[in-house]
Amino acid sequence: MSEKSVPNAEEFDFLVIGSGVAGLFTALHLADHGRTAVITKDILTESNTEYAQGGIAVSLCPKDTPEDHERDTLAAGAGLCDVPAVRVLTQEGPDAVRELMRLGMRFDRTNGELTLAQEAAHSRRRILHASGDETGHEVERALTRRTRIHPDIEILEHTQVTGLLVLEGRCLGVDAIVDDGGERRRFLAPATLLATGGLGQLYPVTTNPLVTTGDGLAVAYRAGAALRDMEFVQFHPTALDDEGSPKFLISEAVRGEGAVLLNEAGERFMPGVHPLGELAPRDIVARAVAEQMRNAAGHVYLDFSPIPPDRIQKRFPGIIAECHRRGFDVYHEPIPVAPAAHYMMGGVNIDLSCHTDLPGLLAVGECACAGVHGANRLASNSMLEGMVFGLRAAEVARKLAGLSAEQASQAAHLPEAPVRYAPPTLRGQLQELMDVDVGLERSSDSLGRASEALAAWSKQVGSAPLASREEIETANLLLVGRLVVAAALTREESRGAHYRTDFPEASDDWRYHLVLRLGPDGQPLIEPMPVLDEAPSPHTAD
């Protein structure tokens, strides 16, 4: 680790950190109004979006309405959704999807009409998809193509943000390291937007790619921004149960088309767990799958046979191909599946305009929390959220005043913030700890063990002028792991994706969000935040 200094700061009108659907969609709606940097620590296309299979939930069918979509989202969120945020998502979703299509997105169609699929906990077929089960790849294709050709977007790949520049309580840009510890750079802007995705790499079994290490959450928290709902980590119930890593997701849409779950004895078990059977909310299905695996000491299987073979081929070509590559034939045998860490419902606390409580800093997508998903995200709402709130974030960012010459000069000469790093060898131990003690089920005892271990490991976090990407990511994972555990210890109930074996029921006494802030002693301060509880929109008859 050398003593290289930060070169002259480079000034932009807008900084967008992250290159999934939230980041690129927002950047494209900023770039016509000013010079925009898209900063991503890997290549432009590497994000959770690229691997999304199921699709985008939106009420575009004449028999569907935003009110129907709102009601399903609230039901899945287990009482912790903020109604105004859900209403923004469902009411503004159709226009956001139309805008995505204008940018070049090609959804599947039948006889010229958009094809709509069914997924768990949706009362109607409202899931748009592309190339069967490669929706995320098509979203990335459309958005990256536009991003690469836009004259006012500068793409900065292999650039890892290490900290936010804060001057007199305002975010004025970021410090970063490029080329895996090669050199430091500083970028200034009146508006910095975090779109860094989730934290799936906290767990050894995850559907998320290797880039999902909670970086945006960590830098925001260290800079003084509040986080919210960090105890709610969603586990997808059906990842292919083989040795591949990251785990290959078997889309919820497969069950939406009729596939069923079988236990070791070849019997269905979900109808006895929930009236919706295999289409129950994800938290319920995931825990039921885990219970079957634990009790029978064997596998759980997903059986495609109720779906007509020609329908399987047309709807799930990517899943079929990947299963075949790994030695599984979905046409002739059920395939083994197991839960895997999938999505973070919590994140940087934002309002409906994507403001954090640090002026100049906005957040959108999985790294942000506006209260849309509550305790359990409804399937295929994630990419829609990135677009709907991306449009809102772009509108807000465009209105922020540019940096004055004095602000730019002061920010450029701020002292270099030390880069936090940790030994990469800790990552495997951290993932195993989170899996055992902070997974689908938690308790006071398990969370206490996790808290003690994380506190001990965090003493190995150091500071230096430069560090490798893996060292920085490990430090970030340790921090967000501590925050997940702190929130989970605090919430003494079970709700949605947070299940406490010592408090197995939901309680109205805990029906509020938990907000976490960095305290003066370096420990998180945890405060309650009311759920915004407007009455749901009235039901609209068919």
Q: What is the pLDDT of residues 318-366, one digit of tens each?
A: 999 999 999 999 999 999 999 999 999 999 999 999 999 999 999 999 9
In this predicted structure, what is the pLDDT of residue 132? 86
In this predicted structure, what is the pLDDT of residue 52? 86
Is the separation of the CB atoms in 271 and 260 below 8 Å?
no
For 378-453, list the strands marked E by DSSP: 419-421
Query: Helix, strand, or coil here: 532?
Result: coil
The per-residue pLDDT for range 419-456, each reduced to its tens digit, is 999 999 999 999 999 999 999 999 999 999 999 999 99
In what helix (H) or strand (E) does residue 69 lie, and over which residues does it extend? Answer: helix 66-76
Domain annotation for the chain: domains and CATH numbers = 10-232+345-412 (3.50.50.60), 236-340 (3.90.700.10), 419-512 (1.20.58.100)
Query: What is the distance between the alpha carbons of residues 71 and 380, in angstroms, rounded to a whole number?
Result: 15
Query: What is the distance between the alpha carbons of residues 193 and 354, in angstroms, rounded to a whole number?
Result: 9
The tokens describing 224, both together, are 């003084």
- For residue 236, the cross-strand partners are 340
Is the separation of the CB atoms in 377 and 345 below 8 Å?
yes
Query: Helix, strand, or coil here: 426?
Result: helix
SS3 for 152-183 is: CEEEECCEEEEEEEEECCEEEEEEEEECCCCE
Query: What is the distance between the alpha carbons of residues 484 and 424, in angstroms, rounded to a whole number?
Result: 20
Burial of 258 (0-12, 13-18, 19+ CB in 10 A): middle
Q: Which residues are the active-site residues?
A: 282
Flag residues of the chain having pLDDT under 50: 1-5, 539-542
- CA 252-255-256 angle, to 5 degrees, is 85
pTM of the model: 0.94
Question: What is the bridge-based pairing of β-strands 14-17 and 36-39?
Answer: parallel
What is the DSSP secondary-structure string of 174-215?
A: EEEEETTTTEEEEEE-SEEEE-----GGGSSSBSS-TT-S-H
Residues in the chain: 542
In this predicted structure, what is the pLDDT of residue 4? 46
In this predicted structure, what is the pLDDT of residue 54? 81
User: On the CB side of 34, how many CA atoms lie within 13 Å of its CA?
Assistant: 21
Q: Please state whether 277 falls in left (phi above 0), alpha (psi between -120 and 50) or beta.
A: left
SS3 for 413-424 is: CCCCCCEEECCC
Query: Helix, strand, or coil here: 327?
Result: coil
Query: Helix, strand, or coil here: 100?
Result: helix
Query: What is the distance between the alpha carbons of residues 96 and 436, in angstroms, rounded to a whole number?
Result: 40
Query: Helix, strand, or coil here: 47?
Result: coil
Query: What is the distance between the alpha carbons of residues 66 and 62, in angstroms, rounded to a whole number?
Result: 11
In this predicted structure, what is the pLDDT of residue 252? 87
How far out from the chain centre does Cα 508 lie?
Answer: 27
DSSP 28: H
Which residue has 């895997």 as its token pair? 340
- CA 218-483-250 angle, to 5 degrees, is 85
How far out from the chain centre does Cα 7 lie?
Answer: 33
In this predicted structure, what is the pLDDT of residue 139? 96
Cα–Cα nearest to 201, from 483, 514, 478, 482: 478
Query: Helix, strand, or coil here: 513?
Result: strand
Q: In what order do the strands lie in the sheet with 361-363?
A: 153-156, 36-39, 14-17, 191-194, 361-363
For 339-369, letters b (16+ CB in 10 Å) and e give bbbbbbbbbbbbbbebbbebebbbbbbbbbb
In this predicted structure, what is the pLDDT of residue 538? 53
Is the separation of the CB atoms in 205 and 233 below 8 Å?
no
Is the separation of the CB atoms in 121 and 280 below 8 Å?
yes
For 302-328, letters b (16+ CB in 10 Å) and e give bbbeebeeeebeebbebbbebbeeeeb
